[in-house]
Structure 1
Amino acid sequence: MVVSACWLIWAVVGLTQQYLVGEASVLLAELQAAGTDPVATREIACLRREAEMGPVSRLGCVARRALELTDELCRDSLRRGDVLTFVRQCACGAELREFCLCAQLADV
């Protein structure tokens, strides 16, 4: 019985980690699509690869950097007066922030 319980715990933890990785990937893809600065969007693509292929323990660092990039993208959109892009980036940032809070990935 102990072996079955241990396997079940391992399976749940593994699935939860895969969920976190998948959700982070989707949110980073949305942020990347909302980006207008080529340098920032390349960095977001790198963060997405790191989230997908790196250790789960790095998700917090990836998420914090993605939130910083979101702020940079939003400020750039405001400077350019691009309201629609700003709204889209804000929505991406809000989803990413909520994910970070719920997954306890970053203190935001």
Structure 2
Amino acid sequence: MKARRTASTLTAALISATLLASPLAFAGDKGDKENRGYDNKRQHAELCEKFERGDWEQKREQYRQKAGERHEAMAERLQLTDEQREIWDEMRQERQQKHERRFEKMKERCKNQSEE
């Protein structure tokens, strides 16, 4: 009986220690800062190179076309009325404008980076 109590106490202590130590195990160093993915908000130098080369324009246009097709397909599936369709299109325009503003900021950042 005494051995059983000792074993259960030891098991409980080991489980508690494991649970307390698990955040420390996962909180290690994530690597050097240059090779981090989203922690470093992407590597701006590579992105700026793509802007300068101009190879992003074709992909951007393809993305816009696919997004337009998805927008239309969703409107069809939702069976929107004319009034709802207007609101739906306004929402899309707002998203596009927001994206354009971010895109322009990124271009400006790259332009300023290349001047320095």
* TM-score normalized with structure 2 length: 0.32
Instruction: Determine which structure has the larger helix proportion and give its number.
Output: 1
